[in-house]
Chains A and B, each alone.
Chain A
Amino acid sequence: MTKKYVGQRMTRTEDPRLLTGQALFVDDVQIPGMLYAAFLRSDYAHALLKSIDVSAAWERPGVVAVYTAEDMGDDWQPSPPNVSPPPGMEGVTFNSRTPVPLVRDKVRHAGESLAMVLAESRYIAEDAVEDIWVELEPLDAVVDLEKALEPGAPLVHDDLDSNLAAHLAQGKGDYEAAREQADLVVKRRIVIDRGAAGAMENRGIVAHWDRKSQHLTVWDTTQSPIPIRNGLAAMFGLSSHQVRVIAPFVGGAFGPKIMMYYPEEVLLTWATLKLGRPIKWIEDRRENFYATTQERSQIHDAEMALTKEGRILGIRHEFLHDTGAYDPYGLTIPLNTQSHSMGAYDVPNYYSDLKVVFTNKTIVTPVRGAGRPQGIFLAERLLDIAARELGIDRVEIRKRNLIPPDAFPYEHKIIDQAFSPLVYDSGNYLATLEKAAATIGYRDFVEKEQPRLRAEGKHVGLGIVPFVETTGVGPYEGARVTVETDGRVSVATGVGTQGQGHFTSFAQIVADQLGVSPRDVHMVTGDTAEFHWGTGTFASRGAVVAANAINAAALGVRKKIFKQASKVLDVPEEDLELVDGHVRIADIPQKSIGLGELAVLANPLRGAVEPGTEPGLESTDYFGPQYGATANGAHALILEVDPETMMIEIKRYVAVEDCGTVLNPLILEGQIHGAVALGIANSYYEQLIYDENGQLLNASLADYLIPTATEIPVIEIDHEETLSPLNPLGSKGAGEAGTIPVPAAFAQALEDALYDYGLEILEMPMSPNKLFELLHGHDA
């Protein structure tokens, strides 16, 4: 197989449709007789539902139905959890509480749905929501993580005796002994707060139960159509073959669209089965701030023990992780945090005690980064403080601790989010860090540029941080590759696409295996009627798991092509090659057969076939990695800050990425740009602000500041490439990498810029307001 297309900066096959507004998004689906859903959502974060009167809503012309929890009867039940519960491990407590379709007894977060209205138009449905009378008795809200665990705190879930959702402690070596031997122990409290994924397209669902064909079709902005389909079939007593879930073009996802099962997914399905009419619900932006999941809130009490040469002897952290009102996503995020709390370093002793806390806030499930940025932030902040106290250059101290290139596979001896041992498969962390330092001009900046600018009174700082990213996790994905009778190739895989360019990058793999142009490969993603085994697009795994499944299926077709062609051309298989859509005898272009023709021959309309023959030129295959591949990188930035206005300007931003084999560098760059932009947002612009009553104070884009083109700098990208030994393509994921080190690098750069103020930045997100407060606690 020649590598002609993999690695090429190919433009995307799907772009002409997207650029001309001809691509189907969920809200574009229009079915005759369609009803529109609107929800009455609680204004209170914590309240008892005393009574609800929907009679006036029923009266409104155009309203077809109004449902409450009571109307659902025995159909009312909490959703199944998103991930398998933790295995019964000693010392692990886990209380599973999943979202409910409609509030039945009490409200647990602002925005939780109390009733659903179905009407002939969205406008009438929203009018009817206003007709509903509801009596809620407010309760004290649980908001602060520490107060939530104090005895006597109000309970989010009354059947538990506290707000502790989970508890897990793990470690390796002996941190206490390491601490005794240390020359320096750095101990700090680190606080990270919530941000939203903020995809430009809000969530949406169209559910259509067709009584005559006894078939359910659901269009959903989900990242995981297959589990949604399986879950809905099971919930409503249908055969999985009666259910088709389609994730068409999706306007960005970034994590929250993989949460299952959102109340709306359950309710719309329940209602369409009941009424036999198609139903549409499109979330509006305000709803998105309440009803779609969020992430990042944690409080760490952390310490790092080091020798005077800056060698890390151990890390210990106790932390609280906010899961919001329910915990459908288990321990994934905080386990990811633990997996990244040692950074890219060789840390012999580690101890972490994690407590997950229920609060009266929107549910927390992964947002791009998924707990990893918090871990990296912790490790890098402590190390920066240590570097300062020990008088060691911050790049030098990192070099002294990086896992060396000959130490792979590196066993961390702690468990990861899959409850398996955490192993880093490959990498050259030193090369990555050095490349970042060289590209940003570290030496020159620190020794010449910065002193010169400081002498002019400017506050300019540099931040540089290496990081790792666990990617490419299982369990598996699958794909089916088929040669069509016109010589084109069609491919189906279960993962969905939300802008990652799968239609192109995956086609490049098939093109190399089968000797066709990627433009002649027709790709289908996210449609359970086309492919129904797999889990979804998440955790930076498409380029690893789905890509390798596609590669394996393409290889299967390649073998069938050679076997078939060998018979047809009467030539041994070894003498054949695939070029330009034809199978030919190597170097004899005249003796060839087109793939389309071969496909026809492989599927005869009459006659006998040999036993064991499979018709056509088609192959289905799967890939499940032994464990997740670990990518790595290093980011460096230079910023200037005005200590009077708190305004910042990022002068340069460098991202060095090692994600193993790169399928399409153009697409990869786009992924890194977007992820870094989110990382910058997480560092200085975006924070979801809840008050003590659990009210979200900035639930609009006017107050929740998604950065624009004037805030995001030019991002210079460079690469290292250490192939992963864990899969045939040698690839590692990269979708989230850009977000992971940014807050840590940003904090370092800000402290460096404001060197004369002696700041320590231990919280994220920062903001102009917070910086102002910090500076005024420290006068230069």
Chain B
Amino acid sequence: MSDQYTISVSINGTQYERTVEPRLLLSDFLRHDLGLTGTHVGCEHGVCGACTVLLDGVPVRSCLMFAVQVDGHEVTTVEALGTPDDLHPLQEAFREAHGAQCGFCTPGLLLTLVPFLEENPDPTEHEIRDAIAGNLCRCTGYQHIVDAVKLASARRKA
């Protein structure tokens, strides 16, 4: 049968120690072992971007990683950004601009955009679209998402 490995990982600032199979996907570890269901799974082949989380601050596809690979690292999921009563400024911008419809691709988009906006606080429309070209959305046609990012970046400037 399979070996088990004990991993120690910081998720959203909380330290977790868990024993897992080596083949357990990071997406499944987050969603089912830890109950952090905000990260969604759309394809499990690294194309749609819905499962995007931050690994040591850098966006990665959690469906293409194993939980054992994040042993000793820091992972950030959408749950770290805000709560319904205390939205992250980017989430607030999405709310105002109607950047989410079904909401399934949204967490992955948010985690892609947070580091993007850190590095590009004043992006052009073209740069925004390029930055989210790895996140598929079937509902919005992307326009209100771009509007949300513009709104968020304008607010950061102010």
| Complex interface: chain A residues within 8 A of B140 (CB) | 670, 673-674, 677
Chain B nearest CB: distance from A198 CB in Å?
6
Residues from chain B with Cβ under 8 Å of A669 in the complex: 98, 144
Contact yes or no, A251 B102, CB < 8 A: yes
Give B48 Cβ to nearest chain A Cβ, in Å: 6
Which residues of chain A come closer than 8 Å to B48, judged between CB atoms? 200, 285, 701
CB pair B50–A200 under 8 Å, yes or no, is yes
Q: Are B133 and A12 in contact (CB under 8 A)?
A: no
Closest Cβ of chain B to A394, distance in Å, is 26
Provide the bound-state CA to CA distance between A708 and B133, in Å.
5
A678 neighbours in B (Cβ, 8 Å): 138
Contact partner of A252 (CB less than 8 A), chosen from B39, B81, B102, is B102
Kindly provide the distance from the CB of B3 to the nearest chain A CB, expressed in whole angstroms. Answer: 14
Q: Are B87 and A501 in contact (CB under 8 A)?
A: no
| Given known contacts A19-B87, A667-B98, A710-B130, A30 and B32 CB-to-CB distance under 8 angstroms | yes
Closest Cβ neighbor of B21 among chain A residues: A123
CA distance A328 to B133 in the complex (A): 37
Q: If A20-B79, A30-B32, A700-B45 touch, does A674 touch B139 (CB 8 Å cutoff)? A: yes
Q: Assess the A20–B102 pair: CB atoms within 8 A.
A: no
Using Cβ atoms and an 8 Å threshold, which residues of chain A touch B1? 61
Residues of A within 8 A of B100 (CB): 15, 18-19
Decide: A21 near B79, CB < 8 A? Known: A200-B42, A251-B40, A709-B146: yes
B136 within 8 A of partner (CB)? yes
**Contacts A12-B98, A700-B47 given; does A670 touch B84 at CB 8 Å:** no
A-B pairs under 8 A by CB, number: 184
Contact of A19 among B45, B95, B129, B144 (CB under 8 A): B95
Query: Smallest CB-CB separation from B146: which chain A residue?
Result: A709
User: 0/1 per residue, A52-87, Cβ < 8 Å to B?
Assistant: 000000000100000000000000000000000000
Return the contact of A20 from the options B50, B87, B98, B135 (Cβ within 8 A): B87
The answer to whether A709 touches B23, judged by C-beta atoms less than 8 angstroms apart, is no
Q: How far is the CA of A337 from the CA of B36 in the complex (A)?
A: 45
Kindly report which residue of chain B lies nearest to residue A717, judged by CB atoms: B143
Residue of A16, A701, A712 near B45 (CB, 8 A) is: A701
Tell me whether A202 is interfacial, beta carbon within 8 Å: yes
**Nearest CB of B to A581, in Å:** 22
Judging by beta carbons under 8 Å apart, are B81 and A674 in contact? Answer: no
Contacting residues, chain A, for B98 (C-beta < 8 A): 11-12, 666-667, 669-670
A200 engages B102 (CB within 8 Å): yes
Cα-based distance from A343 to B87 in the complex (angstroms): 46
B103 beta carbon closer than 8 Å to chain A: yes
* Cα of A23 to Cα of B107 in the assembled complex, Å: 11
Contacting pair A285 B23 (CB below 8 A)? no
- Asked if B116 lies at the interface with its beta carbon under 8 angstroms from chain A, I say no
- Please give, as numbers and ranges, the residues of chain B lying within 8 Å of A20 by CB-CB distance: 38, 78-79, 81-84, 87, 91
**Contact flags A657-670 to B (C-beta < 8 A → 1, else 0):** 00000000011011
> What's the nearest-Cβ distance from chain A to residue B63, in Å?
10
Of the candidates B36, B50, B87, B129, which one forms a contact with A710 in the assembled complex, judged by CB atoms under 8 Å apart?
B129
> In the complex, which residues 48-82 of chain B have their Cβ closer than 8 Å to any Cβ of chain A?
48, 50, 77-79, 81-82
Known contacts A21-B78, A123-B21; is-contact A252 B84 (Cβ 8 Å): no
Cα–Cα, bound, A15→B135 (Å): 19
Q: Determine if A22 is an interface residue (Cβ-Cβ < 8 Å).
A: yes
Given that A200-B136, A251-B102, A709-B133 are contacting pairs, would A701 and B141 also be in contact in the complex, using a CB cutoff of 8 Å? no
Task: Tell whether, in the assembled complex, residue A251 and residue B103 are in contact, meaning their CB atoms are under 8 Å apart.
Answer: yes
B138, A254: Cβ atoms under 8 Å?
A: yes
- Name the interface size band of chain A: 35 or more
Q: Does A499 contact B (CB under 8 A)?
A: yes
Query: Nearest CB to that of B41 among chain A residues?
Result: A27
Q: Nearest Cβ in chain B — how far from A542, in angstroms?
A: 13
Residues 698-717 of A, flagged 1 when their CB comes within 8 A of B and 0 if not, give 00111000101110101100
Distance of A199 Cα from B1 Cα, bound (Å): 36
B81, chain A: closest CB distance, angstroms:
7
Given A12-B98, A700-B45, A701-B43, is A19 in contact with B142 using a C-beta cutoff of 8 Å? no
Please indicate the chain A residues that have their CB under 8 angstroms from the CB of B31 in the complex: 27-28
> Nearest CB to that of A282 among chain B residues?
B41
> Which of B41, B47, B103, B105 touches A702 (beta carbons < 8 Å)?
B47
Residues in B with CB closer than 8 Å to A286 are 45
Q: Which residues of chain B come closer than 8 Å to A250, judged between CB atoms?
A: 102
Question: In the complex, what residues of B have CB within 8 A of residue A18's CB?
Answer: 100, 102-103, 106
B44 within 8 A of A: yes
The closest CB in chain A to the CB of B44 belongs to A284
Q: How far is the CA of A22 from the CA of B142 in the complex (A)?
A: 22
Q: Verify if B101 is at the interface (C-beta below 8 Å from A).
A: yes
> Nearest chain-A residue to B95 (Cβ)?
A15
| Residues in chain A near residue B82, CB distance under 8 A | 19-20
Q: Is A676 an interface residue (CB 8 A)?
A: yes
Given A20-B84, A677-B141, A715-B141: A670 touches B101 (CB 8 Å cut-off): yes
Chain B CB within 8 A of A498 CB: yes
A709 and B133 CA atoms in complex are apart in Å by 5
Residues 341-375 of chain A: 1 if any B CB is under 8 Å from the residue's CB, otherwise 0?
A: 00000000000000000000000000000000000
Closest to A199 in B: B138
Q: Is the CB of A201 within 8 A of B110?
A: no
B7-33 near A? 1/0 per residue, CB < 8 Å: 000000000000001011000100110
Chain A neighbourhood of B50, CB < 8 A: 200
Contact call A499/B101, Cβ cutoff below 8 A: yes
Is A17 an interface position by the 8 A CB rule? Answer: yes
A249 within 8 A of B: yes
A767 at the interface (CB under 8 A from B): no
For the complex, give the distance between the alpha carbons of A11 and B37 in Å: 24
Q: Is B118 an interface residue (CB 8 A)?
A: no
Which A-chain residue is minimally distant from B24 (CB atoms)?
Answer: A123
Which residues of chain B are near A202, meaning CB under 8 Å? 42
Q: Are B130 and A11 in contact (CB under 8 A)?
A: no
Does B139 lie within 8 Å of A670, measured CB to CB? Answer: yes
In this complex, what residue of A is CB-closest to B145? Answer: A709
As a 0/1 sequence over residues 97 to 128 of chain B, the CB contacts with chain A under 8 angstroms (1 = contact) are 01011111111001000000000000001001
Tell me if B132 counts as interface (CB < 8 A to partner A): yes
Contact of B143 (CB < 8 Å), options: A16, A675, A714: A714
Contact (Cβ within 8 A) A11 B96: yes
**Contact partner of A21 among B39, B43, B125, B132, CB < 8 A?**
B39
Interface readout for A661-699 with B: 1 if CB under 8 Å, 0 if not? Answer: 000001101101111111000000000000000000000
Q: A25-B37, A674-B140 are contacts. A16–B42 as well, Cβ < 8 Å?
A: no
B132 and A673: CB pair below 8 A?
no
- A17 near B37 with CB under 8 A, answer no
B103 touches A249 (CB 8 A): yes
Complex: how many Å from CA A11 to CA B93?
A: 11
The answer to the question of A500 belonging to the interface, with a C-beta cut-off of 8 Å to chain B, is yes
Neighbouring B residues of A30 by C-beta, 8 Å: 32, 35
Say whether B102 contacts A201, CB under 8 Å. yes
Q: How far in angstroms is the closest Cβ of chain A from B90?
A: 9
Instruction: Find the residue from A15, A17, A715 having the highest chain B CB count within 10 A.
Output: A15
Task: Give chain A residues whose Cβ lies under 8 Å from the Cβ of B38.
Answer: 20-22
Q: Which residues of A contact B42 (CB under 8 A)?
A: 200-202, 251, 285
Q: In angstroms, how far is the closest chain B Cβ from the Cβ of A738?
A: 8
Candidate in A21, A666, A669 with the most chain B CB atoms within 10 angstroms: A21
Q: State the CA gap A701–B48 with chains docked (Å).
A: 7
Chain A contacts for B43, CB-based, 8 A: 284-285, 700-701
| A-B contact list, 6 entries, CB within 8 Å | A20-B91, A25-B37, A251-B40, A286-B45, A709-B128, A709-B133
**Shortest 9 CB-CB distances between A and B: which pairs?**
A21-B38, A251-B104, A18-B103, A499-B102, A673-B141, A499-B101, A677-B141, A16-B84, A701-B47
Supply 8 further A-B pairs (C-beta < 8 A) apart from A21-B77, A200-B137, A708-B129.
Answer: A19-B94, A499-B139, A666-B98, A670-B139, A670-B141, A673-B142, A674-B101, A709-B133
A contacts, CB < 8 Å to B = 11-12, 15-23, 25, 27-28, 30, 61, 122-123, 197-202, 249-252, 254, 282, 284-286, 498-501, 666-667, 669-670, 672-678, 700-702, 706, 708-710, 712, 714-715
